[in-house]
Structure 1
Amino acid sequence: MHARVHPAPRHLPCQKDPRSVNRSFSCVCGQPIFFRNSVCLGCHAPLGYDPVRSKLLPLAPTDTPDVWRSQESVDEPPMYRRCANLSSPATCNWLVPLQTADAFAPDLCLCCRLTRTVPDLSVPEHASWWGRIEVAKRRLASSLLALRLPLVPRSEDPEKGLAFDILTTLPGAAPVITGHASGVITLDACEADDATREQRRTSLREPYRTLLGHLRHESGHYFWERLVDGTAWHEPFRAVFGDERADYGQALQTHYLNGAPPDWSSRHVTAYASCHPWEDWAETWAHYLHMRDTLGTARSFGIRGDRVELACEPFGPSALSESGNGDVTDARFLQWLNHWLNLTVVLNEMSRSMGVADFYPFVLSQPAVRKLHLVHRIISHKTPRSARRRTRPPAQS
């Protein structure tokens, strides 16, 4: 990300986004507590995350074994069970509201019920890999829930639900490929090994490769099937991203053989996004989630992009006007986007001050912004699905 030196534009006042997940919480003792915490370091109260309310809560026991209540000052505090995976390598701190407990897995939270397959935990490194993956998956799930996107385990909705298979390559078997197919996200558990993931990132010449990035990308494929395929958004998608009926397998083969076009950055968020409209959508979706969660986290701690005096050249209405849907103006989206650009300039400089890679090593072109805006519109104005689901090969990350 680069900045042009000129007077910072005057922004509209930054407003709280009701769909932005909160990452800053306080215990009843006044100690700050964080999204991943399962116990308060100040008063040692047990903590749990309520996915329905997007809130980390201090808990107190009740007269019923294994049932907890919130310590909030309310007349009828909600009652919960703590996820059974709290004591597993997943170390899940999510709660199971008693009124929504699943009949088939009453002791598992919503996020853990999404996981269908885990690696062989008798192998020592597999347990730590699984734990890291679940940490990333909880952050993804909390963001999707805050955006009010449909998130139902495949065990409860075999047709439209979502499942995660976390696998390792077995001796003599074909290698596990991270991807999505018909509601099932497969993740190569080796991606949780830092050395392996960094080696792959370097060999593929990627500026960014993380577990959370993988999960956000693959969730994009899943939600394309849920929100775009066969709906009123399908033609707007093709107008902005291209026709997904182009041969997917051939597109991947061509990409890995020849690489991205030299001018890919003028149209796409990443080089990989240039290989096929499905991958363009998934990469754009992942970047949208990066932006939503990062800005939401910053806002939670009082860090606001509109207060940054060093500014990028802001995007204006012309960035959205060729979206394929007629003239489009969206002042709120542009405000949000420009706050993001301001924030990343500073965060990139802070990363360089620590001698590490840039926080956000990407530059957004106007066509990429139009694609982000279409993702934003689809998430904000979801339409019911009206056509049968199409199947396709797993999408490689």
Structure 2
Amino acid sequence: MKIFQCSNCNNPVYFENTSCEKCENSLGYLFGSESILSFKSAGYAVSKAGGELTYCANFNQSACNWLVPVDSKNKFCEACSTNHMIPDLSIPENKLDWRKIEAAKRRLFYSLHKLNLKTEYTIDGEKLKLTFDFLAPLENDPTAVTTGHDNGLITLNIKEANAAHREYIKEQLEERYRTLLGHFRHEVGHFYWDALIKSDPKILEEFRSHFGDDTQDYGEALQKHYKNGAPANWREQFISSYATMHAWEDWAETWSHYMHMMDMLETSYNFGLEIDPELKKVPNLDVSCDFDPYLEKSMEKIIKHYLPLTYVVNSLNRSMGHADAYPFIISEPVIKKLAFIHKLVN
């Protein structure tokens, strides 16, 4: 992600900030220009074009800091407008979980914008629109709501916003990584499979050469995976054990890692990060993240810079007593899958 400054006092601020700690101005994010605007009124700001802007309607729920035109018929921003259903906000725990979910979703939308990906398509005369249901499960069955994708609609169990619940599921499924943003990136992978691959025979054929047969029965594959687990040598061909389950899941897992990779590299680029470790005779660790990955055509160059970056961030996390930020191994077959995604998006 880009790094941001208060447009009034130039103080560094985060993407999620609603106020500047230095000058105390209000802050709002303008999606189209990828910029943070600073203004004194808590109600509106004046855009560069001179039009009045106000906060998204979800600002009143402390759930959004994006700006919309005052005269717009839609009072929700580009990200919040995709909500089809949200939980009962009169329940304090639901509201807290939902706020965390919306924060992760806005980071998703930032990346989709950088990749020039639409959220609405017409496929064979039918509308395919990205929408979200954020559902609260019954109190006596916290796993009753299943996270997944169906024809553009992504359902997310809001319990995933609860760190204790998420860690419990992570341990039960023997996962090494589980985050809200990771869920979003995985599930939109299914959406973009429908949008970009499903109806194009040429692209579908190339997809199958990398990811396998998507016509295999998904239900049977799911049962087989949870009964037998992943093959012992899965790391040689796949980015995660779950990716071995079905071609669709291999695609979605690899897609999410593509988004991880692009976001981490863009952040490194904007911070001017250079890696020059005090190690002898170790090739390919000395890199300078001096390019915008969203403008780079070469996956080889992206991977060359990304792999040392994962070593750095994992080492930093271990310095703080945390688990690895990126606990994955990227094999050559996975790199080819990532290159296919990069070519398709470009």
Q: What TM-score results when the alignment is normalised by the length of structure 2?
A: 0.89
Query: Is 1:247 aligned to residue 217 of structure 2?
Result: yes
| Alignment match, 2:176 | 207
Bigger fraction of residues in strand: 2
1:107 is matched with which residue: 62, 75, 83?
A: 75
Query: Residue 110 of structure 1: SS of its match in structure 2?
Result: coil
- Supply the distance in 2 between the matched residues of 1:29 and 1:89 (Cα, whole angstroms): 24
- Would the alpha carbon gap of residues 345 and 116 (structure 1) be closer, same or farther in structure 2, given more than 3 Å must change? same
| Alignment match, 2:151 | 182
Residues 83 and 108 of structure 1 are in contact (CA less than 8 Å); yes or no, is this contact kept in structure 2?
Answer: yes
Q: For residues 299-340 of structure 1, what are the alpha-carbon distances to aligned partners after superposition, in whole Å with 9 as ceiling and x for unaligned? A: 2222245x567697659xxxxxxxxxxxxxx97321111111
Give the 5 Å matches for 1:40-55.
40-55=20-35
- Would the alpha carbon gap of residues 360 and 376 (structure 1) be closer, same or farther in structure 2, given more than 3 Å must change? same
Instruction: Read off the aligned partner of 1:96 and give its amino acid letter.
Output: V
- Supply the distance in 1 between the matched residues of 2:99 and 2:126 (Cα, whole angstroms): 26
| Alignment match, 1:164 | 132
Instruction: Read off the aligned partner of 1:338 and give its amino acid letter.
Output: K
Give the 5 Å matches for 1:1-397.
21-59=1-39, 66-70=43-47, 76-77=49-50, 79-90=52-63, 92-97=64-69, 101=72, 103=73, 106-152=74-120, 159-170=127-138, 175-231=144-200, 232-304=202-274, 332-380=298-346
- Supply the distance in 2 between the matched residues of 1:78 and 1:313 (Cα, whole angstroms): 53
Q: For residues 203-243 of structure 1, what are the alpha-carbon distances to aligned partners after superposition, in whole Å with 9 as ceiling and x for unaligned? A: 11000000110110000000110111112311110111111
State the structure with bigger RCO (CA 8 A, min sep 6), 1 or 2.
1
Query: Residue 127 of structure 2: SS of its match in structure 1?
Result: coil
Q: Say which is worse superposed, 26-35 or 118-127, in terms of deviation.
A: 26-35
| Alignment match, 1:322 | none
Give unmatched runs, 5+ long, in structure 1: 1-20, 316-329, 381-397
| Alignment match, 1:392 | none
- Supply the distance in 1 between the matched residues of 2:121 and 2:298 (Cα, whole angstroms): 33
Residues 24 and 35 of structure 1 are in contact (CA less than 8 Å); yes or no, is this contact kept in structure 2?
Answer: yes
- Would the alpha carbon gap of residues 274 and 167 (structure 1) be closer, same or farther in structure 2, given more than 3 Å must change? same
Query: Residue 79 of structure 2: SS of its match in structure 1?
Result: helix
Instruction: Read off the aligned partner of 1:46 and give its amino acid letter.
Output: S
Deviation at 1:170, TM superposition (A): 2.8
Residues 27 and 33 of structure 1 are in contact (CA less than 8 Å); yes or no, is this contact kept in structure 2?
Answer: no
Deviation at 1:59, TM superposition (A): 2.8
Instruction: Read off the aligned partner of 1:367 and give its amino acid letter.
Output: P
Q: For residues 102-156 of structure 1, what are the alpha-carbon distances to aligned partners after superposition, in whole Å with 9 as ceiling and x for unaligned? A: x3xx2110101111111111222111000000000000011101111002499xx
Residues 129 and 152 of structure 2 are in contact (CA less than 8 Å); yes or no, is this contact kept in structure 1?
Answer: yes
Residues 273 and 281 of structure 1 are in contact (CA less than 8 Å); yes or no, is this contact kept in structure 2?
Answer: yes
Instruction: Read off the aligned partner of 2:273 and give its amino acid letter.
Output: I
Residues 26 and 38 of structure 2 are in contact (CA less than 8 Å); yes or no, is this contact kept in structure 1?
Answer: yes
Residues 68 and 75 of structure 2 are in contact (CA less than 8 Å); yes or no, is this contact kept in structure 1?
Answer: yes
- Supply the distance in 2 between the matched residues of 1:284 and 1:268 (Cα, whole angstroms): 8
- Supply the distance in 2 between the matched residues of 1:203 and 1:55 (Cα, whole angstroms): 40
Residues 23 and 296 of structure 1 are in contact (CA less than 8 Å); yes or no, is this contact kept in structure 2?
Answer: no
| Alignment match, 2:289 | none
Give unmatched runs, 5+ long, in structure 2: 286-295
- Supply the distance in 2 between the matched residues of 1:148 and 1:309 (Cα, whole angstroms): 39
Query: Residue 159 of structure 1: SS of its match in structure 2?
Result: strand
Q: For residues 60-104 of structure 1, what are the alpha-carbon distances to aligned partners after superposition, in whole Å with 9 as ceiling and x for unaligned? A: 55xxx954214xxx6x445422111112042x00111468x4x3x
Residues 114 and 152 of structure 1 are in contact (CA less than 8 Å); yes or no, is this contact kept in structure 2?
Answer: no
- Supply the distance in 1 between the matched residues of 2:189 and 2:51 (Cα, whole angstroms): 33
- Supply the distance in 2 between the matched residues of 1:282 and 1:312 (Cα, whole angstroms): 33
Residues 348 and 360 of structure 1 are in contact (CA less than 8 Å); yes or no, is this contact kept in structure 2?
Answer: yes
Deviation at 1:46, TM superposition (A): 1.2
- Would the alpha carbon gap of residues 314 and 239 (structure 1) be closer, same or farther in structure 2, given more than 3 Å must change? farther
Query: Residue 129 of structure 2: SS of its match in structure 1?
Result: coil
Q: How many residues in Structure 1 have an aligned counterpart in Structure 2?
A: 331
